[in-house]
């Protein structure tokens, strides 16, 4: 569940202002966010995740008021409850594909890495057809392959909230649909809330609801 009330956010030294009077995304809902480039889609996901905090208003995510948590609690919340697929992937170039997928387990002592987790990591990689590249350094992957690694990493801990920023932006049509299948199916199986930014009408129409940035202000 995500609930935003009276939100206002500005970057320092920038004219951009994001305002969201009221927004609610229910538990288990799967929502696509659409809107032109520069309209604040990534900014909004960062606010949902607690990466940024609003200047005014509140953001409540998965029963936690992330906008008023101290930094350390927000970081812990993010690792444990939020699966993020960043627009720029944020993979660690010196690690293999497999270790990048397992990364949340290296970063948080609250997540326990065991054989079941490793097996699930391999299975997710198989679902998006990168299982043959698990030992490869991520620096030696195509953009589309990197995007799929980022997706596996986000889904592995079965987060309650999955936030995906243009997760199909670099994919060919068949991989695009495979990634959307994986996102929708995993969210449903895990009872997670899913919010995905997309420019692709074919992708957006597969979600329960489409939220247009223009309608939020």
Q: Where in the chain does DSSP place strands (E)?
A: 2-10, 17-25, 30-34, 56-61, 64-65, 82-85, 161-165, 193-197, 209-212
Select from ligand ADP, Mg ion, none the partner in contact with residue 81, using the beta carbon and a kind-dependent cut-off of 5 to 8 Å: none
Among residues 12 and 109, whose Cβ is nearest to ligand ADP?
12
Return all residues near 87 (Cβ < 8 A) that are at least 6 apart.
42, 165, 166, 169, 197
Helix (H, G, I), strand (E, B) or coil at 18: strand
| Site membership for ligand ADP, residue 8 (CB under 6 A) | no
d(CA 54, CA 32): 22
Neighbours of 46 (CB within 10 A): 18
Judged by CB under 6 A, the chain residues 40 through 59 that form the site for ligand ADP are 40-43
- Residue 38 as a binder of ligand ADP (CB under 6 A): the answer is yes
Kindly identify the residues of this chain, within the stretch 16-45, that bind Mg ion according to CB under 5 A.
41-42
Q: Choose the stretch contacting ligand ADP; rule: CB under 6 A; options: 20-28, 34-42, 64-72, 139-147.
A: 34-42
Q: Is 72 in the site for ligand ADP (CB under 6 A)?
A: no
Q: Which helix (H) or strand (E) holds 16?
A: none
CA 217, chain centre distance (Å): 22
Question: Which three-class secondary structure state does DSSP give residue 156?
Answer: coil
Q: What is the closest distance, in whole angstroms, from the C-beta atom of residue 81 to ligand ADP in the complex?
A: 22
* Contact code string over 70-109 relative to Mg ion, x by CB under 5 A: -----------------x----------------------
When CB distances are held under 5 to 8 angstroms depending on the partner's kind, the choice from Mg ion, ligand ADP, none that residue 193 binds is none
3-state secondary structure of 2: strand
Which residue lies nearer to Mg ion by CB, 41 or 146?
41
Task: Enumerate binding residues for Mg ion (CB under 5 A).
Answer: 41-42, 87
Residues forming contacts to ligand ADP in the complex (CB under 6 A) are 11, 14, 16, 35, 37-43
């Amino acid at each position: 569940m995500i609930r935003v009330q009276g939100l206002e956010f500005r970057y320092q030294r920038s004219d951009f202002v994001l305002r969201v009077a009221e927004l609610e995304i229910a538990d288990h809902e799967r929502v696509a966010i659409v809107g032109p480039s520069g309209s604040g889609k990534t900014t909004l996901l960062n606010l949902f995740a607690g990466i940024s905090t609003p200047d005014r208003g509140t953001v409540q995510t998965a029963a936690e008021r992330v906008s008023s948590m101290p930094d350390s609690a927000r970081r812990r919340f993010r690792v444990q409850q939020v699966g993020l697929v960043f627009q720029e992937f944020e993979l660690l170039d010196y690690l293999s594909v497999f270790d990048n997928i397992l990364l949340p387990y290296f970063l948080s002592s609250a997540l326990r890495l065991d054989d079941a987790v490793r097996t699930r990591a391999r299975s997710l990689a198989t679902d998006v057809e990168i299982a043959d590249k698990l030992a490869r350094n991520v620096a030696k992957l195509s953009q589309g392959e990197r995007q799929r690694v980022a997706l596996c990493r986000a889904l592995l801990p079965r987060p309650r909230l999955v936030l995906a920023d243009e997760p199909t932006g670099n994919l060919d049509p068949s991989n695009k649909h495979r990634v959307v299948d994986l996102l929708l199916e995993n969210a449903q199986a895990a009872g997670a809330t899913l919010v995905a930014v997309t420019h692709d009408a074919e992708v957006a129409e597969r979600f329960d609801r489409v939220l247009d940035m223009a309608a939020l202000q």
